[in-house]
Amino acid sequence: MGKRQHQKDKMYEFVVLVGNIYAMTSVEICLEIYFLSLQPFEYPVCTEEGIVFDLLSIVPWIKKYGTNPATGEKLEAKSLIKLNFAKNNDGKYFHCPVLYNVFTNNSYIVANKVTGNVFSHEAVEQLNIKTKSFKDLLTDEPFTRKDIIILQDPTNLDKFNVSNFFHVKNNLKVLDPDEEKAKLDPAYHLRTTNLETRETLAELYKDYKGDQLLASTMKEQQAKKTDKLNAAHYSTGRVSASFTSTAMTPATTHEADAIADDIVRYQYVKKKGYVRLHTNKGDLNLELHCDKVPKAGENFTRLCKKGYYDGTVFHRSIRNFMIQGGDPTGTGTGGESFWGKPFKDEFRPNLSHTGRGVLSMANSGPNTNKSQFFITFRSCTYLDRKHTVFGRIVGGFETLTAMENVESDPKTDKPKSEIKIISATVFVDPYEEADAQVCVSLCVFAYMNNTDFMIKHRVNQCSFQLYIHIVVLSKYLDSCFGTHFSSLWFCTPTY
């Protein structure tokens, strides 16, 4: 035995095996998998050639193509033969109803064209062909030898070769509307998931808003119109952003950024606001620092004018500290701002919780101001920069003393006897005057520049009473310039 006897052995198999027999590359299916969608059938039918289909899949195919999906030949629905497969006692496997042999991939299976009953070839050969008694083994109906259809022959499995199917070669399919609709759901593509995954996905889909958020981000924000009042001295930055980012739409013109409407309005608020709270203990006259903290002042003024505080109670009172109210629920957890959402804190160095009768906003943390407020019984400067001071008491200190003298529950700090706000009266509202000045400024600017369109978006936000100011101004300008101020008549406020 010489050396190097295995040096020519190959470390791989030849494509052509011994005897010039090629390695098998085809894919075969079993009888339970029908030929069209390659899925187990529920309502089996077959052709005269013994090709099995499912009724729910072959009928739409015939309506669309009119051919046999396996061979490509012409096929009609009336030529299909309904098959009756028998199952064993467990109801899991097909078997011969005569010999009770379970059908496998190596079983020789035939069907009776007349009755559609499916048997093993051995049973038909022994009990029908050899005895020359051509009667169905279950129903005893007569048939001929030509009525025997071969469904599966273990010696000839070419018809089960998927790669030779006509619809596979030509990539033909019938789209199911229900299936196409189900494909839109990402869960359709999840083959197998455990219980925990399904529960997690179910919770996610309840609050899922990804599509809405994506759609909102894809929309290009409309540029806010600017005029003489709300035009900033700086640009929107779109030119530089589009130059440095490919995600931005190219822009070549610098545009002035628009200042928020509230900031424009608050520039004209130069006065204090005055409100009287009518309580069951007496009246409280309040001075509001609208010129210093305009957001908190407007919130309190608007809520008083709409009757939001009417009938509410002071739910918390601590002697030598403060009394708190403004919650319609009376629990200390409710209430909303005039705009329906919390607004930011407004801290000013010259506004402090110093002295008796300071009016301040109650909150649950930074920038969570809503409708609740409190009035101090004595100085508490440690609350500075934690709560927004927006007013003070200028009359009715005897009422405040009466409210402080009401005993409270030591556990909940809730007054034992009810302290209620009956109503609120607004004497001075500086925001109406500010709106009037904004409206007049816009009208004058439009009149002098003949740009009526510039005030359409802003004037209709004024209150109805401002219409009188506009009419008076138009008559004054007509007398000065000798022209008819018709451009103002379309500005009738709708608020």
How big is the CA angle at 328 (ends 324 and 332), to the nearest 5 degrees?
Answer: 45
Catalytic, 88? Answer: no
Question: Which of the residues 128, 324, 369, 372 is marked catalytic?
Answer: 324
Which phi and psi (to 5°) does residue 251 adopt?
A: -135, 135
Helix (H) or strand (E) holding 202: helix 195-206
Give the HSE-up count for residue 384: Cα atoms under 13 Å, Cβ half-sphere.
12
The rounded distance, in Å, linking the Cα atoms of 101 and 257 is 85
- Residues facing residue 278 across a β-bridge: 283, 423
The rounded distance, in Å, linking the Cα atoms of 324 and 230 is 38
SS3 148: strand
Catalytic, 338? Answer: no
Type of residue at 463: S
**DSSP 8-state secondary structure symbol assigned to residue 116:** -
Question: Which of the residues 121, 238, 387, 458 is marked catalytic?
Answer: 387
Q: Which of these, 472, 462, 459, lies nearest to 431 by C-alpha position?
A: 462
Distance set, CA 164 to CA 72, 123, 159, 161, 170 (Å):
11, 31, 8, 6, 10
Burial of 449: CB neighbours in 10 Å, binned 0-12, 13-18, 19+: exposed
Q: 393, 282 in Cβ contact below 8 A?
A: no
Long-range contacts of 164-172 (CB under 8 A, 24+ apart): 164/26, 165/35, 165/69, 165/70, 166/67, 166/68, 166/69, 166/70, 166/71, 166/72, 167/36, 167/61, 167/69, 167/70, 170/72, 172/65, 172/69
Question: Which of the residues 101, 161, 280, 363 is marked catalytic?
Answer: 363
Question: Which of the residues 94, 103, 374, 377 is marked catalytic?
Answer: 374
Helix (H) or strand (E) holding 310: none
Catalytic, 363? Answer: yes
- Residues facing residue 119 across a β-bridge: 110
Question: Which of the residues 321, 347, 397, 445 is marked catalytic?
Answer: 321
Catalytic, 321? Answer: yes
Catalytic, 41? Answer: no
Look up residue 122 and give its two tokens.
């051995």
**E runs forming strands in 225-315:** 231-235, 256-258, 273-279, 282-288
The rounded distance, in Å, linking the Cα atoms of 445 and 174 is 67
Catalytic, 374? Answer: yes
Catalytic, 101? Answer: no
Look up residue 462 and give its two tokens.
């004024």
SS3 354: coil
The rounded distance, in Å, linking the Cα atoms of 153 and 122 is 12
The rounded distance, in Å, linking the Cα atoms of 384 and 261 is 28
Q: 56, 40 in Cβ contact below 8 A?
A: no
Look up residue 309 and give its two tokens.
């505080």
Catalytic positions are 316, 321, 324, 363, 374, 383, 387
